[in-house]
Amino acid sequence: MKRLSLSILSLFLILVSFSVTAQTSAGTKKTVPTYLDESIDFEVRAQAIVKLMTLKEKVEQMREYAPAIPRLGIPTYFWWNETLHGVARSKDTVTVFPQAIAMAACFDRQAMKVMGDICATEARAIYNQSFLDGDRGAQYKGLTFWTPNINIFRDPRWGRGQETYGEDPYLTGQLGVAIVKGLEGDNPRYLKTSACAKHFAVHSGPESTRHTFDVDVSDADLWNTYLPAFRDLVVDGKVSSVMCAYNRFRGKPCCANQHLMVDVLRNMWGFKGYVTSDCGAVTDFWHTHKTYKDAEHSAVAAVNATTDLECGSFWSKNWTFNSLTKAVKDSLIDEKELDIAVGRLMLTRMRLGMFDKKENVPYSAIPYSILNAPEHAAHALKMAHESMVLLKNNGLLPLNKNLKNIAVVGPNADAEATLLGNYNGIPKQIVTVLDGITEKLGDSSKVIYAQGVNFVELLEGESLQDAVAKVQDADVVVFVGGINSKYEGEQGDTGNIPGFFEGDRTSIMLPKVQTDMMKALSAAGKKVIFVNMSGSAMGMPWEVENADAILQAWYGGQSAGTAIADILFGDYNPSGKLPVTFYKNDQDLPDFSDYKMENRTYRYFKGEPQYAFGYGLSYTTYKCSNLQIVKTHGMNVRVEVTVENTGKKSGDEVVELYISAADKDMNPAIRSLKGFQRVHLAVGEKKILSFDLNTMDWAAIADDGQAQKPRGTYSISIGGSQPNDAIFNGVTETYDFE
């Protein structure tokens, strides 16, 4: 029956490929090409338009820059667009949210979904205006976005870790699905924009070897760490696109890897969308990996692995996919394989409404004036508030607004660029920490500013004591340090500065000159609050022991300064939680190039962290109690817990649920996050929260990618941190399977 159905569909496609007859309002008949007939399914229309293309035209459509085909009414289109935390690189002023790693610290699915929706709204506004301006086909003004980056942040030295949602597969999958839903919308017919799960798969540095390295991890690590988030976005999130990675996996480049791309992505998970290569990845086959002898064989291998689109021609003057024309003529590949690839690309464009009348596509009416809307800016501030993680507070915070003198010091105190992270857009307005504190205090206090030091060295012609002298009248010093995207980022974004190399960090330690500056301030009798900005975990042993307070502020986006000032002075109760482990020093870390998960991340790290995954302080106290576990059906269990604000200030608590198996053959992880909820509680308020656990939550995924049937005893812990943390305010119970 399956073969018969496919044959009937193929015959139908041939019959309707050229045209259909439609009735006009005047009663006369008008011929409409099938691919423009809005009454026909997108899949049929996509196949119909492909059948009208020449071989050369098909090949040209399989590149990031797809030229127009005037005779078919197909406009030029640039597939490569970015919206990691706001529409990026378009040169339009847009809303810029906190960097991805900062948004992960919010532990807030709904806020992430709203953020994605705002990005899609502003993207549609830019896209619609580009048509009015006659700028069709311009790069970074399109609707296919290569976001989110859901690679696991397995090592804090990886410069692009800031683009991810942290080290945990569950958190990454949950937040990734949320942004996909926001970006793609809920219209039953049209995509608002197209999201992309990247980089598939087993990819997280080093940046300097990303075009050459080969990874061979165990099946246990593959299925339980590197693939779960991709599975979540493909199966649960219905993401419309996937980007394959630069590196090799078990000897084969990811974009030509039959196991990853065909066996897992297409067959096991049923992915129907389009796959794009990372930019330059197909050229890597023959240029750097040396796994194929030339461009022609490389292109064939990629298409045979269902890579539909090539991004980038960095190593040569031409796209490697250009050689597909010759490959077809040389009988290295059947043209029908190209039809399938181009069909998936055309289907995506049709789902975006590019071949339908504007009045029939609801998103076509979004005006350019919606950019930087007040409600968008408000959400950027909300996410900045939620993202900040209070790591230490000896009672100094929140500060009194009646301070006579306050000093704001450090390389990030007034650094606008730092707040934008990477893959960023251009905000209409940006608030630095100096701006935020100055605005907060007005004329009531004197705000003294001194940069003090650069990121990794003294200011030219100045000493530490010069900086201390400038702030000698301050009652409190807010030292705003850390790093920025000059020091961590994508390959080539950074120089070879000591402690950093080609985008990655060679040490997780805070640059020594900054610690020396804080030591000098402390020695002068100053109370020191350390505000750290970074996209990754920072080793800061002196600060942990000696600073009066530490706030992890990440790269907080356009409203970072306002959010930081609100927290420092108590107008917002800090509620962020760490999405990564903060290790004590470099000695805690395995070799950067080793992809084994042993002794990595909170799930497997056997040492004592500086600050644990899920950690974060508040200005109030919370308590979780009365944990109830009820089996619903099969292996499914509902867990309920009561959470109460037991302190003296209202605020948000992130309630975290962890599972640990007694039988480590069932799940070797020390513990694994399997649920979280952000909840607002007034003073004295209680709420009952419920969590649903299913078969995939209990046991490790087997080597064939299937869920194991759980057995034995499991511990379920619920609280505002991991159960072994000193600040754990929750409860732990056991649950037995037969």
Task: Please answer whether residues 344 and 43 qualify as being in contact, where contact means their C-beta atoms are separated by less than 8 angstroms.
Answer: no
Q: How far apart are CA 138 and CA 324, in angstroms?
A: 25
- CA 207 and chain centroid, separation: 17
Buried b (16+ CB within 10 A) or exposed e, 487-524: bbbbbebbeeeebbbbbbbbebbbbebbbebbebbbeb
Q: Are strands 504-505 and 500-501 parallel, antiparallel or unpaired?
A: antiparallel
Q: Which two tokens stand for residue 311?
A: 């991004």
Check residue 298 and give left, alpha or beta (phi > 0: left; psi -120 to 50: alpha): alpha
**Which entry of 108, 155, 278, 356 is annotated as an active-site residue?**
278
Residue 488 known to be catalytic: yes
Contacts of 679 (CB under 8 A, 6+ apart): 643, 652, 653, 655, 687, 689
Residue 433: closest CA among 573, 550, 566, 616: 566
Q: How far apart are CA 169 and CA 204, in angstroms?
A: 13
| Amino acid, single-letter form, for residue 618 | S
Residue 391: closest CA among 721, 101, 730, 732: 721
**Which entry of 168, 308, 435, 488 is annotated as an active-site residue?**
488
Q: How far apart are CA 246 and CA 211, in angstroms?
A: 6
CA-to-CA dists, residue 665 to 162, 637, 698, 713, 716, angstroms = 33, 21, 12, 12, 18
Write a three-state SS string for 555-601.
CCHHHHHHHHHHHHCCCCCCCCCCCCCECCCHHHCCCCCCCCCCCCH
| Amino acid, single-letter form, for residue 596 | K
Report which secondary-structure segment, H or E, holds 620: none
Number of helical H runs and strand E runs in the chain: 21, 25
Q: For residue 362, say if its preceding peptide bond is cis, omega within 30 degrees of 0.
A: no
Contacts of 706 (CB under 8 A, 6+ apart): none
Q: How far apart are CA 589 and CA 571, in angstroms?
A: 38
CA-to-CA dists, residue 300 to 247, 269, 288, angstroms = 18, 23, 17
Q: How far apart are CA 399 and CA 477, in angstroms?
A: 11
Q: How far apart are CA 249 and CA 578, in angstroms?
A: 30
Residue 180: closest CA among 158, 168, 165: 165
Catalytic center residues: 278, 488
